[in-house]
Amino acid sequence: MMSMVSKVSGWKTIREFFRSHFPRIVFFALISVLCVLPVTSQSFPEGSSQGNTEMSERITGIDFPNIEFSASAPKDGHEVAFSVQLLILLTLLTLAPSLLILTTTFLRFSIVLDFIKRALSLQQVPPTAVLNGIAIFMTIFCMWPTFKNMYDNALRPMSNNEITLEQAYEKAEAPLRTFMYQQMKDDPSYITTFLSMTRTTRPKNISEVPTYVIVPAYILHELTVAFKIGVLLYIPFIIIDMVVASILMSMGMMMLPPVQISMPFKLMLFVLVDGWGLLTTQLFHSVGL
């Protein structure tokens, strides 16, 4: 008896479901039939031209060049020397940015500009990229006579096949060596230090000092000069920080950061004394301009 009742209730439920969802069932059935039916081909109307999928004979393909890389044993000493020269040239091009940074005034300028940014307690303004850009253009301004001398005596004659690569290297090296020595002539202690490390005979003049001695001596000299300038720049701003910190402690405002209060005063002082103008002028004078 119970089974018959459950069957009757089940049929009622199914009939009610079909009765309420009959339109949706018919709609989905029609869509399914239309999707299953094959698509019949349609003929083009009369008067239409017949299509052709063949490529015209006038159209030709693109000829790509055949690129080959080969390595062969050198036949004489000239080919070996040229290969070594090419390898040295590629190495110098790779190291060119580092050489320009370390053998020019960019090292001093970039460090001093970063010092002034930290002395003013500035975090994001001006950005590091802006300071590096200023240092680059200041370096070009200071090094322009040296670069022009290198171009006129080395690069231009080499491009005109008037001198060899070795001669161009010697002529380009001389102005740069002279510039680095002029910066260290008042304090040649670093040159003496590196010469003592090499354990070579004492040179009679600067022309006998190897380049691998002048370059590291110049780098240490520039770092020393830049840090000396940075210490002098820090002194007035440290005094302002100490005064502001003392005032805040006397007022009992120890929870307030002194840097946050002293930064506007340091900025006003830097602007009133034309800080950027004084800084760039003294940097140029420190180079000898």
pLDDT, averaged across the chain = 75
Assess if residue 85 is contained within a domain. no
Assess if residue 55 is contained within a domain. no
DSSP letter string over 40-101?
PP-PPPTTPPPP--SPPTT----------------SSHHHHHHHHHHHHHHHHHHHHHHHHH
**pLDDT score recorded for residue 59:** 63
**pLDDT score recorded for residue 191:** 83
Assess if residue 25 is contained within a domain. no
Give yes or no for residue 254 having a pLDDT over 60: yes
Give yes or no for residue 151 having a pLDDT over 80: yes
**pLDDT band, residue 2 (cuts 50/70/90):** very low
Assess if residue 150 is contained within a domain. yes
Alpha-carbon span 184 to 55, nearest angstrom: 76
The total number of structural domains in the chain stands at 1
**pLDDT score recorded for residue 52:** 61
Assess if residue 259 is contained within a domain. yes
Enclosing domain of residue 210: 100-287
H/E segment holding residue 39: none
- Mean pLDDT score, 129-142: 89
Alpha-carbon span 269 to 278, nearest angstrom: 13
Assess if residue 139 is contained within a domain. yes
Alpha-carbon span 288 to 284, nearest angstrom: 7
Assess if residue 260 is contained within a domain. yes
Give yes or no for residue 31 having a pLDDT over 70: no
Q: Is the peptide bond before 23 cis (omega within 30 degrees of 0)?
A: no
Assess if residue 79 is contained within a domain. no
2 or 149, higher pLDDT:
149
